[in-house]
Amino acid sequence: MTAQDRNTVMAADLYGDLLVDTRQPPQRWQTRVPGLAMAIVASLAAAWLSDHYGAPIVLMGLLIGLSLSFVSAEPKLIPGLTFASHTLLRIGIVLVGAQITFAQIGSLGIGAFAALIGIMALVMLTGIVVAKLFKQDVMFGLLAGGATAICGASAALALWSLIGEKRIDQARFTIVLVGISVASALAMSFYPPIAEFLGLTDRQAGFLIGASIHDVAQAIGGGFSFSRTAGEVATIVKLTRVTLLAPVLAIVAIALRNQGMGADGTAKRIQIPWFVLGFLVLVGVNTAIPLPAQAVDVSHTVSKALLLVSVTATAMKSQMAVLLTQGWRSFAPVIAATLVAFALSLGAALIL
């Protein structure tokens, strides 16, 4: 295989499946250790930078992963990176369910809950519409809008696992991750001062911050930086958005299944992803039998770590040459969805 042919294969082989050594069973743990270990080490570096310099941990994971994207040319690392970006992601999403109860959602009230659903739906629609306006496909707009509307990087990873690399390539997916990470970091810095400038009450500020900031940690941090009451409201609102990830994923899965109808017009059997069901089961268990605080803390730490490793591994698998060819227009759906989320959340906060 010539160098040119190899580059062509690498550009097309987004998950490295064509370059995995087929002489070794892909299920063997030995094949996953090198890539998984590298993703973990890079994630630890991101955590150190975040802890010492106050930078968003997901953004640090993305940047370090992108700086190491050249390692994706090594076939031996692909199985481990794929395992980290797929399986660890799903386990992390399931564990998020241990941090939420249906009672928390109910405490919002019908009006606030309905407003939140409407905001999320319009933000997702904004991503799709703007993507079409900029000559991009609907699935890219859905990914950008969904990540903005729900819970940032974790939602982007979950949606992309359903949409698939055949519809959205690695470079454009990485652009969404970078866009929402930067937007979330800026929102955490500017939204609380804006809320104070506008004279919002604690409850209004908490709703605004919880309903519009993408990342969970930054939404909660932004709320508590305004006041304790605002932080508590922002936490409930944000966790409600996270809970709605499950039905959104189920709807997307059903829609994609319907797109895959056979020639006879009969739809394929609908299957809800196992990690969505696992997420809902843990929410139900935590609602019926509240988990000990220590167990909730452990699930939070583990899920955060798994999602960080998944984000880092995804960035490491990105093709930087392809990523650099993307212009500013690729960020338009994320930017537009972020602005619409803020405007709608502010309007709802003033009315409620």
Structure tokens that stand for 275 in this block: 């990690």
Structure tokens that stand for 52 in this block: 């010492």
Cα gap 23→339, rounded to integer Å: 50
Query: What pLDDT shows up at residue 18?
Result: 32
Closest CA to 332 of 123, 125, 127: 127
Q: Containing H/E element for 81?
A: helix 78-96
Most confidently modeled of 46-50, 256-260, 272-276?
46-50
The answer to whether the Cα torsion of 53, 59, 61, 63 is positive or negative is negative
Q: How many CB atoms lie within 10 A of CB 273?
A: 18
- Give the model confidence (pLDDT) of 208-267 as tens digits: 999 999 877 678 778 888 887 888 788 888 888 888 888 888 888 888 776 654 333 344
Cα gap 161→167, rounded to integer Å: 11
Q: What is the mean pLDDT of the chain?
A: 80
Strands (E), 56-201: none
For the chain, which residues make up each domain, given as ranges? 32-351
For residues 114-143, average pLDDT: 93
Look up tokens 């082989």; give the residue.
13
Query: What pLDDT shows up at residue 352?
Result: 79
Closest CA to 192 of 153, 154, 218: 218
Q: Which phi and psi angles does 261 have, rounded to 5°?
A: -60, 145
The residue ranking higher by pLDDT, 276 or 30, is: 30
CB 57 within 8 A of CB 181: no
Cα gap 28→33, rounded to integer Å: 9
Closest CA to 167 of 197, 202, 138: 138
Q: How many CB atoms lie within 10 A of CB 23?
A: 5
Which of 59-73, 119-133, 140-154 is least confident? 59-73
Look up tokens 């167990």; give the residue.
295
Query: What pLDDT shows up at residue 273?
Result: 63
Query: What pLDDT shows up at residue 347?
Result: 94
pLDDT exceeds cutoff 90 at 128: yes
Share of the chain above pLDDT 90, in %: 24
For residues 143-166, average pLDDT: 85
Question: Which residues, in sequence order, are CB contacts of 234 under 8 Å at separation 6+?
Answer: 205, 206, 207, 209, 210, 219, 220, 222, 223, 224
* Angle value at C-alpha 149, between 300 and 329, nearest 5 degrees: 120
For residue 24, name the pLDDT band (cuts at 50, 70, 90).
very low
The residue ranking higher by pLDDT, 155 or 25, is: 155
Burial of 187 (0-12, 13-18, 19+ CB in 10 A): buried
Query: What pLDDT shows up at residue 251?
Result: 86
pLDDT exceeds cutoff 60 at 94: yes
- Give the model confidence (pLDDT) of 294-342 as tens digits: 888 888 889 888 888 887 887 787 666 655 666 677 889 999 999 999 9
Q: How many CB atoms lie within 10 A of CB 317?
A: 27
For residue 89, name the pLDDT band (cuts at 50, 70, 90).
confident
